[in-house]
Amino acid sequence: MKRLSGFSSSTAAFLALVMTAGTVAPVIMSVPAAISATTTATSLSDVSSNWAAPFIQGLTSGDKPIINGYSDGTFKPSKAVTRAEFAAFIQAAFNEKEIRTGGNFRDVPSKHWASAAIAKAYKTGFMSGDTKGNFRPDDKITRVEALVSLASGLNLSAKGSTSTILKAYTDASKIPTYATNKVAATTEKSIVVNYPAVTSLNPTQVATRADVAAFIYQSLVSKGQRTALASSSPVSKYIATAPSSPNQVAALKVSKSSTIDVNYEQSYVVATPNDTVDITLSVANDIKNSEGKILIPRDSEIEGQLIPRFAGTQFLGTQFVAQRLTIGSDTYNNINATSALLAGQKAPTASNPTWKDAALTAAAQAILARVNGQKFNATEILASVLTGQTPTTQQNSVIVIEPDKDLKLSLNSDFYVNKVANAGS
């Protein structure tokens, strides 16, 4: 995850402003709380702000931690995991029966640091070598390989229709044929965790330590050896679930490419590029089926993130990615909806600025001051802008988003609700 001046994007601050005629409300700075967990690993300095914090903390805490941090006090959640490291995680997390003998590989000498773990992973059926007798311990393991390994070692097989279950993922076509049943099985067991969008499996992407921690934690939950995260936990929206086939009927479908108008509690969001910001939108208008029945009522909540998009190192803009839809007491983690790519707008520097312009400039100055570790005074900034003075900090490094106008969402795949909201039109 990208960082800016030591400022973690997972806890990115953002500024929201509310405008009323002739007045400017105070600048509001909101820093999303760290994802909560029942246990803590206080010695790991880079965990609490990471999206996978509950999974990592659940495995690194206690007398016998399953996954350890590094000697410098970090966990390095974004670091890629090698096959040898994954074998070590498997050895520490599971105590499955050995189902075969062997486990000696040409490229794993007896003095290799993970030789015992690799042999154990092989004997218990979690991992295998290639046809030439090599294990390739230094190769990075992909997300789909990690899931196949877990399904194999835990002896999981899909009970439902594989093709139906894999409809949970918009990129299911990228899953290798050999892995489809295993991925379906781990999906049924709620082992698959996809960040930042639950509908994107990214099967061929290299697995990070955060990914592996999430997969292993959920695997232990499926075995009854860890407590499942509460549905209200912010991270639960990343846990994939198999589609409910009985409800896949036309009357309950919101079609792909449907648009959803949204509202937000504040008029503007000002953020730096690189920042990932959690926000919750509300549905502006009822979404109905062809019979006029309401499927997604007005004021339903859509949780998600403003996520920066890059082409190499070039910043392309920010995009809202929906992660959870709440309709009354029903929660859906499989909604696949995004906004257009937003380049944003520079905070205004007009020669005759309005109160709105001044407030936006103040917001830009304030967030840059926070990122750069500077002190700021919103009143002084407003005064300087309204009197035509040039602010001391350049505000072209921030983007200004008007959520109600800019964050109209488009469904990227068909979406099914459990029931119509009411009997009327």
Q: What is the DSSP string of 333-371?
A: S---EE---B---PPP--SS--HHHHHHHHHHHHHHHHH
**Distance, CA of 147 to CA of 212 (rounded, Å):** 9
pLDDT at residue number 101: 93
Question: Burial of 15 by CB count in 10 Å (0-12 exposed, 13-18 middle, 19+ buried)?
Answer: buried
Of 341, 300, 306, 342, the residue nearest 324 (C-alpha) = 300
> Which one, of 252, 410, 238, lies nearest residue 338 by Cα?
410
- Bridge partner list, 338: 321, 410
Query: Considering only CA atoms, which of 266, 323, 265, 259 is closest in space to residue 296?
Result: 259
The first and second tokens of residue 99, run together, are: 């189902």
- Give the model's pLDDT for residue 344: 56
Q: CA 402, 407, 413 angle in degrees (round to 5)?
A: 175
Ordered mean pLDDT values, 10 residues apiece, the chain (425 residues): 30 37 32 26 78 92 79 93 96 94 94 96 96 96 98 92 91 96 95 95 97 96 86 88 66 88 86 81 92 92 86 79 88 84 58 50 51 44 47 53 90 84 54
How far apart CA 201 and CA 400 sit, in angstroms, is 31
Q: Which residues contact 405 (CB under 8 A, 6 or more apart)?
A: none
Report the run of H or E that residue 268 belongs to, with start and end.
Answer: strand 268-271
The structural domains of the chain, ordered by start, are 1-31+251-425 (2.40.128.260), 53-246 (no CATH)
108: exposed, middle or buried (Cβ count in 10 Å: 0-12, 13-18, 19+): buried
Instruction: Report the DSSP beta bridge partners of residue 332.
Output: 325
- Tokens 């075969």 sit at which residue? 100
Q: What is the pLDDT of residue 349?
A: 46
Q: Return the ∠ at Cα 131 (arms to 129 and 134), rounded to 5°.
A: 45
Residues 393/369, Cβ–Cβ less than 8 Å? yes
Q: Could you give the CA distance from residue 168 to residue 200 in angstroms, rounded to a whole number?
A: 9
DSSP annotation string for 92-137: HH--PPP-S-----TTS-TTSTTHHHHHHHHHTTS----TTS---T
Q: What is the pLDDT of residue 44?
A: 85
DSSP strand pairing (14-17 vs 7-8)? unpaired
Q: What is the pLDDT of residue 308?
A: 82
**What CA dihedral angle connects 172, 330, 262 and 165, to 10 degrees?**
10
Q: What is the DSSP letter of 269?
A: E
Query: Which value, in Å, is the radius of gyration of the alpha carbons in the chain?
Result: 24
Residue 74: exposure state from Cβ atoms within 10 A (0-12, 13-18, ≥19): middle
Helix (H, G, I), strand (E, B) or coil at 378: helix
